Structure 1
Amino acid sequence: MHLLVCHHGLWGNAEHLQFLTNAISQRQPDLKLLCCNSNRGINTLDGIDVCGDRIVRDILELLQSEPSITEISFLGYSLGGLICRYAIGKLFAHGTFSSVQPRLFVTMATPHLGSELPKVSMWKPHVAFFNRAFNTLTRTFTSRTGHQLTLRDQYHDGLPLLIMMADHDSCFIQGLQLFARRACFVNVQNDPTVRFTTGSIEHSNPYRKRPAEVIDPQYPSIVRIVPSEDAVLVSRPFNPTDIPKYGMFILLAPVFITIALTALSSYALYHRANRISGIDVENEWFKEFKQKALTESCKDVLDSTTTGEAESHQHISALLTQESTNIRHWMVDNLNRLGWEKVHVRLEQRRAHAGIVVRRASDKTTDQVSYLVDKYFTDLDFVSTAKK
């Protein structure tokens, strides 16, 4: 039997992936689906590692109760992709993949490099303000998870969790390496939550200056960059209607942000102790792999980016606020060594982050889900192994 583990995003629940899982189930009714709900809602604020520990517990309990499961795949949406990556590392460390074969790993709009937006020149005040507000909101509003998403945590030896998860000698990468296929779906526009570079594990976004073209008319939302010889530089023209829109945002956003941060963060912190009872917050299991996770290559990158205080947490944090840093390039290069099938999705709706998985009934564009099902869940080898 083939187990497919699906995980929702931040503040989400299993219902957010209902359209997606229904489409997969219709195509592959023999798949065993585990739509993780132990991290629903506010539980996603506890940290990528704590959330990952919860689904590892769910997976191990299911494997124990159903020994007929011999293969496993993962599908993670948004934050769920990082939670799945963490869970894969822990399952690898525990030796789970010696008896259960890893098959397919797919992420959709997942911030593989974190979620912090870059600093922008004050000549674009609305963008600069939005980026700064978004970064502050992420760190404060999303509690422990937000610090991990912005690489401001100290998971092990003063280094952020996402850096540890990108180390090519870590259990996280070694676990991912075992999967037969790895794919990441990413929005090319209208997704300020997960920008293209972090969702597609790239150094830059080529769609900022070059047009896109549809690959197959059957899937009009799936695009690629127009070849360089045919490309025409494109740019978004100035729209006078943006002035009152951004002006209103700059005036009102601080008020709403302050109220939201105070109320929701206080609520999350107050209830956190009860939510994480029984979870290995100190990550004792990881200490067995720290020599692999903290490699000399990782230390070399940090040393090359500092002047005297190479392992200073404050200095690393300052570097990571930039769009291009040695550390981010190192993360991109390490993750890309795995080999990914990268699928670029262009949705015209304003909330493309929700639309990529058809999270709401109002999301009318669904061909990206059809593409996922057709290309990743109808492969003959996949079908034959799923029906064993």
Structure 2
Amino acid sequence: MSKPVVLEDVTGGSAKATHLCVLVHGLWGNPSHMRNVAKALRDEYSEDELYILPAEKNCGNFTYDGIELGGERVCAEIEDKLRNIEEQGGKITKLSIAGYSLGGLVSRYAVGLLYAKRILDDLECMNFTTFASPHLGVRTPLKGWHNTVWNVLGARTLSMSGRQLFTIDKFRDTNRPLLAVLADPDSIFMSGLKKFKRRTLYTNIVNDRSVVHYTSAITKHDPYTDLEKVNLKYLKGYEGVILDPDHPIALRPKLQQDTLLTDYEAIKKWVKSIPFMVTVGVIIPIGVVVFLANSAVQTVRSANRIKAHESGEAGLKIEQYRMPLRIKEIREEVEQAYEVLNSSQNQQYLAASDSEDDLAYDAEDRKLLKKERRMSTPGQPTLALTPDQFEMIENLDEAGWRKFPVHIQKHRHSHAAIVVRMDKESFADGWVVLKHFAGSEFLIPSDIDSSYSYTRGISDDAVIQHHVLIATFSPRSTDPSLRPNRKLPIARAFASTFFLSSSSFSSSTAEKEAQTSRLLLLPKSRAACSALFCFACRGREGLQI
């Protein structure tokens, strides 16, 4: 196995870097959990191209304090870093954020604060990415008394973060859960999120016992509950790990499903599950006791920190809340205990008709549930989500996301493997995810000639909708505006030209002229093209190439 990555070796940047990427870890986490995400980015982009900041002011037990406080801490950390870089002679003009697990929600809150403080006005928002983040909370889709016992009581074990993740909190004076407010289309949080040119999420389809697929994928369906019934369709170049986001599955014929599992395969599958059953029966009960005891202590400490924060007396040192070494060693076992508890309930679906559970909601929410029932089909049943969650899905989907389902097969702990949280050979599938993120999905502009103005507000979807034609221009072109920038690396010497058809614009000829020479950039790792020149056609006769 290769030498473990040291966080300090792959983060930071030089004074030349104009693009800041902030990495935000999850619940119980620390900056080192994001070190391999940072390494994947650094392998693609030099310190002159990208400044990498791992957020560190909301780590460990401080993550109990809630999404709100975490977001405020991360926002303050970003502001401090922007100021610090400028004091050292640098200037950040572009911003990207990547959040893992709870860090995705903390990042969305921080983005709203940055938007409200008008800090984003001076920054070009490039990439917003989440890995296995519970956008809809961690509430297990359950009905009846199971919902009361598991989702309501379970929420009490994680202080404010727990109540917010299980959506039983009331955020300030809104009388709504914080996650619902985060997804409100009129909120500062959604306004800030929409400023990013690319919003991407990676979602585990199996074995994520912390953040199940429906919530990290922002969906009301889960076609991966029984993989024996579907054929998985993988993304070209990432076979075996990342599914094709446009066509991820195909249903298997019923006969094939029935005969798929032979007696031998069934026995083999049962034998493989023995270690897991031993863990559940022997080790987990011990872990659960430790987990609940630790949760009680941390809930009290968190409440005190929140109280101090609200009163303006939050001058607390992280060292005061560092756990003793012995407790640190069993933290992983504690986390696994929580995950097993969280996965002990199977997801349920909406009832075919009105049920007693509906009485807990008002008339408007009951109307929404009826609508979702009508849309539910046997082939694609709708999960038993809450009205708030259905509304979150609709609002978040309107913002536009590039969703990549991930199939981690080499390790049962897919939640940690997706970002290679630990240096294990069995986490190899996670490296495939990180290389896709850094090499194919991450947008970063080049140090281009000042005569070119960078395209603002042109999203990937907008380009696709305009049905562009791609043509490669010649380095010997007599038109200076079409010559590749000689200062760029050789790998970027060949750039593609996007000519937008005249039918794509309803503006006048003068306005079309004003659209020329606008630049849209792709990651440098994409072969033979990193700069895309967008030109509006002139006249009715179409393209003049």
Note whether the superposition's TM-score is higher than 0.5.
yes
- AA in 2 matched with 1:215: L
Q: How does 1:67-78 map to 2 (within 5 A)?
A: 67=86, 68-78=91-101
**What SS is found at the alignment partner of 2:203?**
strand
Deviates more, 1:251-260 or 1:57-66: 251-260
Q: Does 1:14 align with 2:37?
A: no
**What SS is found at the alignment partner of 1:186?**
strand
Q: Does 1:249 align with 2:247?
A: no
Residue 188 of structure 1 corresponds to: 205
**Residues 75 and 120 of structure 1: is their aligned pair in 2 closer, same or farther, counting only changes over 3 Å?**
same
Q: Deviations over 1:334-353 (max 9, x none)?
A: 10001100011101110000
Which one of 358, 371, 376 corresponds to residue 436 of structure 2? 371
Q: How big is the shift at 1:232?
A: 3.9
Residue 261 of structure 1 corresponds to: 292
- AA in 1 matched with 2:428: K
**What SS is found at the alignment partner of 2:235?**
strand
**Residues 358 and 248 of structure 1: is their aligned pair in 2 closer, same or farther, counting only changes over 3 Å?**
closer
Residue 353 of structure 1 corresponds to: 415
Contact map agreement 1:212 1:223 (CA 8 A) in 2: yes
Q: How does 1:202-217 map to 2 (within 5 A)?
A: 202-208=219-225, 209-217=229-237
Q: How does 1:83-94 map to 2 (within 5 A)?
A: 83-94=106-117
Q: How big is the shift at 1:13?
A: 0.7
- The number of equivalent residue pairs is 345
Residue 318 of structure 1 corresponds to: none
Contact map agreement 2:114 2:120 (CA 8 A) in 1: yes
**Residues 162 and 275 of structure 1: is their aligned pair in 2 closer, same or farther, counting only changes over 3 Å?**
closer
**Residues 358 and 251 of structure 1: is their aligned pair in 2 closer, same or farther, counting only changes over 3 Å?**
closer
Q: How big is the shift at 1:324?
A: 2.9
**Residues 103 and 226 of structure 1: is their aligned pair in 2 closer, same or farther, counting only changes over 3 Å?**
closer
Q: Does 1:338 align with 2:369?
A: no
Deviates more, 1:139-148 or 1:209-218: 209-218
Q: Deviations over 1:268-307 (max 9, x none)?
A: 42365347745689xxxxxxxxxxxxxxxxxxx9641259
Residue 385 of structure 2 corresponds to: 324
Q: Does 1:66 align with 2:97?
A: no
- AA in 1 matched with 2:437: L
Give me the CA root mean square deviation.
3.3
**What SS is found at the alignment partner of 1:33?**
strand
Q: Does 1:200 align with 2:217?
A: yes
Q: How big is the shift at 1:92?
A: 0.8
Looking at structure 2, the residues matched to 250 and 323 of structure 1 have their Cα atoms a distance apart, in angstroms, of: 29
Contact map agreement 1:46 1:276 (CA 8 A) in 2: no
Which one of 151, 160, 170 corresponds to residue 167 of structure 2? 151
- AA in 2 matched with 1:342: K
Q: How does 1:282-321 map to 2 (within 5 A)?
A: 303-305=363-365
Contact map agreement 2:234 2:248 (CA 8 A) in 1: no
TM-score by length of 2: 0.57
Looking at structure 2, the residues matched to 114 and 152 of structure 1 have their Cα atoms a distance apart, in angstroms, of: 10
Q: How big is the shift at 1:135?
A: 6.7
**What SS is found at the alignment partner of 1:216?**
coil
Looking at structure 1, the residues matched to 278 and 149 of structure 2 have their Cα atoms a distance apart, in angstroms, of: 16
Contact map agreement 1:38 1:54 (CA 8 A) in 2: yes
**What SS is found at the alignment partner of 2:428?**
coil
Deviates more, 1:326-335 or 1:9-18: 326-335
**Highest CA radius of gyration, 1 or 2?**
2
Contact map agreement 1:188 1:346 (CA 8 A) in 2: yes
Q: How big is the shift at 1:246?
A: 5.2
Identity %: 28
Contact map agreement 1:107 1:183 (CA 8 A) in 2: yes
**Residues 244 and 352 of structure 1: is their aligned pair in 2 closer, same or farther, counting only changes over 3 Å?**
closer
Looking at structure 2, the residues matched to 331 and 345 of structure 1 have their Cα atoms a distance apart, in angstroms, of: 22
Q: How big is the shift at 1:158?
A: 1.8
Q: Where does structure 1 lack aligned partners over 5 or more consecutive residues?
A: 123-127, 282-300, 308-321
Q: Where does structure 2 lack aligned partners over 5 or more consecutive residues?
A: 1-17, 313-360, 368-382, 446-520, 525-529, 532-545
Looking at structure 2, the residues matched to 371 and 340 of structure 1 have their Cα atoms a distance apart, in angstroms, of: 16
Q: Does 1:142 align with 2:158?
A: yes
Looking at structure 1, the residues matched to 281 and 109 of structure 2 have their Cα atoms a distance apart, in angstroms, of: 37
Residue 99 of structure 1 corresponds to: 122
Contact map agreement 1:147 1:153 (CA 8 A) in 2: yes
Deviates more, 1:237-246 or 1:263-272: 237-246
TM-score by length of 1: 0.79
Q: How does 1:214-225 map to 2 (within 5 A)?
A: 214-224=234-244, 225=247
Q: Deviations over 1:289-329 (max 9, x none)?
A: xxxxxxxxxxxx9641259xxxxxxxxxxxxxx72333221
Q: How big is the shift at 1:96?
A: 1.1
Looking at structure 2, the residues matched to 132 and 259 of structure 1 have their Cα atoms a distance apart, in angstroms, of: 20
Looking at structure 2, the residues matched to 347 and 132 of structure 1 have their Cα atoms a distance apart, in angstroms, of: 31
Q: How does 1:120-131 map to 2 (within 5 A)?
A: none
Deviates more, 1:213-222 or 1:167-176: 213-222
Looking at structure 2, the residues matched to 10 and 66 of structure 1 have their Cα atoms a distance apart, in angstroms, of: 28
Residue 79 of structure 1 corresponds to: 102
Looking at structure 2, the residues matched to 66 and 45 of structure 1 have their Cα atoms a distance apart, in angstroms, of: 30
**Residues 62 and 279 of structure 1: is their aligned pair in 2 closer, same or farther, counting only changes over 3 Å?**
farther
**Residues 135 and 77 of structure 1: is their aligned pair in 2 closer, same or farther, counting only changes over 3 Å?**
farther
- AA in 1 matched with 2:161: T
Q: How big is the shift at 1:31?
A: 0.6
Which one of 51, 75, 78 corresponds to residue 32 of structure 1? 51
**Residues 277 and 25 of structure 1: is their aligned pair in 2 closer, same or farther, counting only changes over 3 Å?**
farther
Which one of 90, 101, 115 corresponds to residue 138 of structure 2? 115
